[in-house]
């Protein structure tokens, strides 16, 4: 019989532009120590470790082996999962399956990145096909800018509409002591920031960040003994649809549409806007905060600006999105998807301090990366049947 799985502890570093005081292994150790402290466990209590990052940001091969001193994986089953930007959410999904399978009772899941140690754009460019995609591609910014151009052309959405997403996330981040960028910005500041790749400007985009996140997944046999209010995993789904950039549908993010449709179907969500209390979404740039919530079924295609301008997705609104400040405020890439998971879990556990949304019963987190790929997870305060 598969086990039900819950998150019983989380830990993050204080994410910032550059951590010169720690090397990668020490950064990982920081997050792990905090997660163990949160769960009141010791590393000896952990049965196994899964870890992930994007290789070429730090230039280290076999990171699961290299990070052993920091991850606590010495003498334990240790493995690396990685799928680019979706790494963090891939890890969360991995944590679920590994524990649900009955093979582990308490699994430590770690995502980390030291983006400061290399050239982010260069490294992301090497994620794509060397013969067909790399000649013209200029890292994440270029691909996302193309998506934005199509979204604007299709629905008449404006750069100002997109800027409202940045304003929201950056405002929320001020309440999150772990977030990288904790200073509000205005619509005008976004609109007048440097044009990097039309139509994207500097403040439409996420920063590069050093940071790590650790989450402890536990089976139902032990979860409630460890944590009075764990965050139960209700379901997971993902779609990594494309191999080549040119095959992607640039509008409506089909991978997120399909992954969330599967997730909603198996968890009984029919009206996500009503039934979900908070979302932590991997929104790496402003326009995505519009088109991708349409893909999640919060509203019809082209109508997301209305939700943003009406404050529906602000803290205090009907469905707060990115109470943590999201990716636009903080992006240690290998950790980012896992931070979304941790933040969603914190909301369920009631541990989100100043950024806590009241009375969270159901939360959703997402991951994005690769060739317009998406991962989603649903969390609940109540143990699933």
Partner 1 sequence: MSGEKQELLVMQSGEKEQPFHYAVGRYGSKFLMELRDHKKLLGIRCPKCRKVYVPPRQVCGPCYEKMHELVEVGPGGTLVGYTILRFHFVDPETGHPKPVPYGYGFIRLDGADNAFQHFIDVRDESKIKVGARMRAVFKEQRKGNLADIQHFEVIDPVKEIGKPL
Partner 2 sequence: MERVAIVGVGQIQQERNKVQDTFADMVFEATTKALEQAGIGIRQIENVVSASNDFWDGRTISSMAINDACGSYDKNISCVEGDGTFAAFYGMTRILSGAYDTTLVVAHCKGSESHSAHITNAMFDPLYVRSLGVDSIGSAALQARRYLDRYGITEEQCALVSVKNHGNAFRNPCAQLPLKLTVADVMKSRMLADPIKLLDASPISDGACAIILAREPVARKITDRPVWIRGVGYCADAYHLGDRDLAECDALSKASQKAYQMGGIRNPRKELDVVELYDAFSYQELLWTEGLGLCGRGEGGKLVESGATQMKGEIPVTPSGGLLSAHTVTAAGLVRIAEAVLQLRGGAGEHQIPGAKTALAHGVNGPCGQSHCVWILGV
The residues that touch partner 1, with contacts defined as CB under 8 A, are 20-21, 59, 119, 121-123, 125-126, 130-139, 141-142, 145-150, 152-156, 194-200, 241-248, 250
Single out the residue of 101, 158, 192, 221 in contact with partner 2 (rule: CB under 8 A). Answer: 101
| Other Cβ atoms closer than 10 A to 221 | 13
**Smallest distance, partner 1 to C-beta of residue 56, A:** 9
**Smallest distance, partner 1 to C-beta of residue 240, A:** 11
Q: Give the DSSP letter string of 180-211.
A: S------HHHHHTS-EEETTEEGGGB----EE
Q: Which does 261 bind (CB under 5 to 8 A by kind): partner 2, partner 1, none?
A: none
Site string for partner 2, 315-354 (x = CB under 8 A): ----------------------------------------
**Smallest distance, partner 2 to C-beta of residue 120, A:** 11
Which of 90, 197 has the CB closer to partner 2?
90
Which of 6, 100 has the CB closer to partner 2?
100
In contact, 199 and 146? CB cutoff 8 Å: no
Which of 10, 255 has the CB closer to partner 1?
255
In the block, which residue shows the tokens 């919530």? 293
Four-CA torsion 67, 222, 228, 44, nearest 10 degrees: -40
Q: Give the DSSP letter string of 309-339.
A: HTTTTSTTSSS-B-TT-TTTT---HHHHHHH
Q: Which does 145 bind (CB under 5 to 8 A by kind): partner 1, partner 2, none?
A: partner 1
Tell whether residue 100 is a contact of partner 2 (CB under 8 A): yes
How many residues in the shown chain lie near partner 2 by CB under 8 A? 60
Cα–Cα distance between 98 and 319 in angstroms, integer?
31
Site string for partner 2, 234-253 (x = CB under 8 A): --xxxxxxxx----------
In contact, 303 and 294? CB cutoff 8 Å: yes
For partner 2, the binding residues in 56-85 under the rule CB under 8 A are 56, 59-69, 73-84
- Strand 195-197 relative to strand 200-201: parallel, antiparallel, unpaired? antiparallel
Give CA separation, 271 vs 37, 275, 277, 278, 336, in Å. Answer: 37, 6, 11, 13, 27
Q: Which does 246 bind (CB under 5 to 8 A by kind): partner 2, partner 1, none?
A: partner 1
Cα–Cα distance between 235 and 5 in angstroms, integer?
10
Cα–Cα distance between 23 and 10 in angstroms, integer?
21
Q: Which residues bind partner 2 (CB under 8 A)?
A: 1-2, 23, 52, 54-56, 59-69, 73-84, 90, 93-94, 96-98, 100-103, 123-124, 126-130, 236-243, 258, 262, 369-371
């Amino acid at each position: 019989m598969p086990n039900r799985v819950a998150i019983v502890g989380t830990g993050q570093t204080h994410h910032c532009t550059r951590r010169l005081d720690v090397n990668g292994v020490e950064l990982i150790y920081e997050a792990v120590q905090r997660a163990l402290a949160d769960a009141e466990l010791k590393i000896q209590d952990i049965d196994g470790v899964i870890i992930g990052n994007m290789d070429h940001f730090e230039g280290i091969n076999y990171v699961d082996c290299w990070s052993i001193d920091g991850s606590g994986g010495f003498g334990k089953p240790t493995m690396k999962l990685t799928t680019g930007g979706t790494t963090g959410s891939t890890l969360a999904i991995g944590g679920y399956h590994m524990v649900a399978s009955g093979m582990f009772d308490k699994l430590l899941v770690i995502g980390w990145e030291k983006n400061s140690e290399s050239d982010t754009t260069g490294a992301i460019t090497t994620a794509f096909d060397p013969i067909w995609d790399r000649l013209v591609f200029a890292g994440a910014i270029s691909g996302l800018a193309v998506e934005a151009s199509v979204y604007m052309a299709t629905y008449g959405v404006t750069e100002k509409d997109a800027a409202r997403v940045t304003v929201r996330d950056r405002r929320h981040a001020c309440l999150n002591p772990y977030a990288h960028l904790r200073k509000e910005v205005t619509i005008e500041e976004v609109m007048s920031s440097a044009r990097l790749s039309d139509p994207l400007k500097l403040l439409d985009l996420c920063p590069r960040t050093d940071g790590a996140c650790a989450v402890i997944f536990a089976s139902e046999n032990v979860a409630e003994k460890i944590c009075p209010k764990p965050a139960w995993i209700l379901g997971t789904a993902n779609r990594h649809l494309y191999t080549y950039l040119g095959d992607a549908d640039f509008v409506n993010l089909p991978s997120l549409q399909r992954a969330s449709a599967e997730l909603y179907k198996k968890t009984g969500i029919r009206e996500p806007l009503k039934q979900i209390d908070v979302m932590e979404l991997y929104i790496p740039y402003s326009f995505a905060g519009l088109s991708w919530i349409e893909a999640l079924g919060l509203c019809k295609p082209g109508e997301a600006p209305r939700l943003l301008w009406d404050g529906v997705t602000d803290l205090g609104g009907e469905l707060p999105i990115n109470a943590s400040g999201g990716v636009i405020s903080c992006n240690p890439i290998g950790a980012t998807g896992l931070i979304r998971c941790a933040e969603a879990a914190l909301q369920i556990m009631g541990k989100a301090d100043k950024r806590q949304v009241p009375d969270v019963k159901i939360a959703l987190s997402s991951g994005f990366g690769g060739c317009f790929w998406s991962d989603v997870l649903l969390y609940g305060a109540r143990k699933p049947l």
